[in-house]
Structure 1
Amino acid sequence: MSNFSIKPFVAASLLLAGFQGANAQDYLVNSLKSNQSANSKDSFQFKDVINIENTPVKNQGSSGTCWSYSANSFLESEMIRAGKQPVELSQIYTARNAYIEKGINYVRMHGAITLGDGGALHDVINMYRKYGALPQSVYTGLNYGTTNNKFGEMAAMNEGLLAAVVKNPNGELSPNWVKAYTSVIDTYLGEVPQSFDYKGKKYTPQTFAKEVVGLNPDDYIELSSFTDHPYYTQFVLMVPDNWSLDLVYNVKMNDLTDIIDAALKSGYTVGWAGDVSEKGFSWKNGVAYIPAKNPADMTAEEKESIFKGPQPELEITEALRQKAFDDYQTTDDHGMHIVGLSKDQNGKEYYIVKNSWGATNDYKGYLYMSKNFVKYKSTAILLNKGGLTKEMTKKLNLK
């Protein structure tokens, strides 16, 4: 059975846009503009079953930082779940630190690893562990007159600087290249304060993370599902944005949605990473599903009706999912935050997903994603280990 993704050259272009960084979101949103219907919201009748408290929708602007926005939103919901007053965390502080670590890896690998704005959900946990956290009010990343992120020039500067470092014109690297690279980033995003005042008390990023955010980075786990690795073991997720070569746990395809369901029912939200280049994904309409019929084979009338109410969906198998990943039809092009569960008028379940493209669609920044879409297009999910069932915890040999 064939995959129904957009043409391979578009998927490849998305990867390229993610590599170049700053225009990744603009390219992605523009490529999806045709995936919409004028009256979709009138045709879907969603009734929320679970809707976990989360913080207001943000806008990542012209930057490929969805991973930071989605996983920081996830941490903000974790604060709420833990009974804390949520803080709007600085997504760009996280990204800034990841850019530095990524640059170091890039040079160490002689340029043979991904560069750019892109990242993974686990990057937020890793940066939180190493660098702490800052509130958005202290570090906006808007250091040169813009009102929204606009990272194109910075990305080009970073790419040129690191290319020169990798060429190693002196025959031996000096210790100053990291300082030069960091200074470029801080010139655009702003220098990190060594200490700052928040609600009348002085903090460092590390003490703020410990005393105010109060989350334990060891509590979080990332999972995926592929047939070419043993189930319930760890493996390196082979996607370009896994620049840190982190390990994820491999589970069966149906486990992905079972895990998400169990977490939501227990009050835990879930970070989501995957591919949104499908014809069945409409940001404007706030709906994502996998049509049963290949859009390339649809009549004009069928294409016009694709978002006019619930439609039959393709049945997803592990073989179909693996094939889509192997032939580049599923890429790691976006990250979002699953905050609930809903049903349409036919009783079919969808996840309520918070995006970071502003409140610009029919559902004010949220969308409804079918379980089949999640099974087919997910590259990874992130959640608190406390949201796993006892059975899954045992299968993964977690303590």
Structure 2
Amino acid sequence: MKKLFITATAVVISVTAQAQDELIKSLDGNTSLSAKEGFMFKPLINLERTSVKNQGSSGTCWSYSGNSFIESEMLREGKTPVDISEIYTARCVYIEKAKNYVRMHGNVSWGDGGELHDVMNIYKKYGALPQEVYTGLNYGTDINRFGEMQAILKGMLDGIIQNKNGNLTPNWITAFTAVLDSYLGQVPESFTYNGKTYTPQSFAQEVIGINANDYVELTSIPDEPLYQDVFLAVPDNWSFDYAYNISTTDLISTIDNALDKGYTVGWAADVSEKYFSWKNGVAYVPETEYAKMSAEEKESLFSGPKDELTITAELRQQAFDNYSTTDDHAMQIVGKAKDQNNKEYYIVKNSWGTKNDYEGYLYVTKNYVMYKTTALLLNKAGIPKNIYKG
């Protein structure tokens, strides 16, 4: 998930929000000094999860939220959770994405971005590593900084698809992997964890122990057929996966059902709106369009609860079609709360560290979720049976 610009060719290039710090900077004005005093939240459901992480200067939110989701599934099943290496998952995606990029002659997105389904696909194919075994910090920093690495990888791939030899050699993937090794570190064939030796695959099976086939990605595209798999038409769906299409109102009933049953939810959404405040930890959909607000209305945007715009399927589809909803970011819904007016919000765990009003969490209204969600990831058992029968 990331903001994208599309060039005049068919190549999609990551430009702006591939890095957390750039996206946060774009949201810096979405704040109010009085927000924490204006909103009073009471938790209704607060599910177990692991600690808030920081994805650093990298567009790997999908890996952080997806692996946090897996960690919560371990907790739900009564297991001791593992701090899963998000960068191992991302590294495996870069290899698969590179293969696709070359096969498509560069006519597919490249960059840090990915989707929630990538986490499950990689878990199934490549297994997983604990953070203590694979930090991905092999280049002199204590936090992810992927700008230099991604520039090198993109330049290498663009050179490969020029096909100067007339036929591609089998060596290019070895050279590509060597760059990943240099920046992120080599992947161990085996390693010791809690006194026992594992491979990435056996670690996933024996220690994490979830079944990737138990999980499904959902979307809501009103102009596509409902209650069947449809193509997830967002630029970072480099693997061309399909998602199960549900109605706009089903998004809410599905999340509520999952939370009621003890399941957290992976959440992909647009967070670029002026009414999404990372600093204040609040997101909602104001009745008045931001561009039409008075200076006073803009000033008080996060001063306390406000009435919201009614969200319809037509409005949601229009936002996709005119690019006001784009595939920006992925987080994890871990609970539900209500404000002083008894309006319900979802409690959302982010991966931008803990330097906001709620130490890394946000409170997001159901209207915002209905309007700005691009996809959900959850356990099939958490979906109402009248919505999903798979």
**TM-score tier after normalising by the smaller chain length:** over 0.9
Q: Which residue of 2 aligns with 1:112?
A: 107
In the TM superposition, what are the counterparts of 1:1-399 in structure 2 within 5 Å?
Answer: 19-20=14-15, 23-394=18-389, 398=390
Could you tell me whether the CA contact under 8 Å between 1:106 and 1:115 is conserved in 2? yes
Question: Residues 325-383 of structure 1: CA distance to partner in whole angstroms, max 9, x if unpaired?
Answer: 01111111100000000000101110000000000100000000000000000000000
Could you tell me whether the CA contact under 8 Å between 2:4 and 2:16 is conserved in 1? no
Question: Residues 252-295 of structure 1: CA distance to partner in whole angstroms, max 9, x if unpaired?
Answer: 00000100000000000000001001111000000000111111
Could you tell me whether the CA contact under 8 Å between 1:11 and 1:329 is conserved in 2? no
Q: Supply the distance in 1 between the matched residues of 2:3 and 2:99 (Cα, whole angstroms).
A: 28
Output the amino acid matched with 2:171. Answer: N
Q: Name the structure with the higher helix share.
A: 1
TM-score norm. by structure 2 comes to 0.96
In structure 2, the CA distance between the partners of 1:126 and 1:251, relative to structure 1 (3 Å rule), is same
Q: Supply the distance in 2 between the matched residues of 1:11 and 1:292 (Cα, whole angstroms).
A: 25
Aligned-pair CA distance for 1:392: 2.1
Output the amino acid matched with 1:252. Answer: S
Which one is further off, 383-392 or 141-150?
383-392
Which consecutive residues of structure 2, in runs of 5 or more, have no partner in the other structure? none
Q: Which residue of 2 aligns with 1:6?
A: none
How many corresponding residue pairs?
386
Output the amino acid matched with 2:202. Answer: T
Q: Supply the distance in 2 between the matched residues of 1:390 and 1:258 (Cα, whole angstroms).
A: 11
Could you tell me whether the CA contact under 8 Å between 1:295 and 1:303 is conserved in 2? yes
Structure 1 residue ranges, 4+ long, deviating more than 4 angstroms after superposition = 10-18, 20-23
In structure 2, the CA distance between the partners of 1:243 and 1:284, relative to structure 1 (3 Å rule), is same
Output the amino acid matched with 1:72. Answer: N
Q: Supply the distance in 2 between the matched residues of 1:335 and 1:58 (Cα, whole angstroms).
A: 13
Question: Residues 66-124 of structure 1: CA distance to partner in whole angstroms, max 9, x if unpaired?
Answer: 00000000000000001110011000000000000000000000100011000000000
Aligned-pair CA distance for 1:185: 1.0
Q: CA RMSD in A?
A: 1.7
Could you tell me whether the CA contact under 8 Å between 2:320 and 2:326 is conserved in 1? yes
Q: Secondary structure at the match of 1:352?
A: strand
Aligned-pair CA distance for 1:186: 1.3
Q: Secondary structure at the match of 1:292?
A: coil
Q: Supply the distance in 1 between the matched residues of 2:84 and 2:370 (Cα, whole angstroms).
A: 30
Aligned-pair CA distance for 1:20: 4.5
Question: Residues 146-177 of structure 1: CA distance to partner in whole angstroms, max 9, x if unpaired?
Answer: 00000000000000000011100001000000
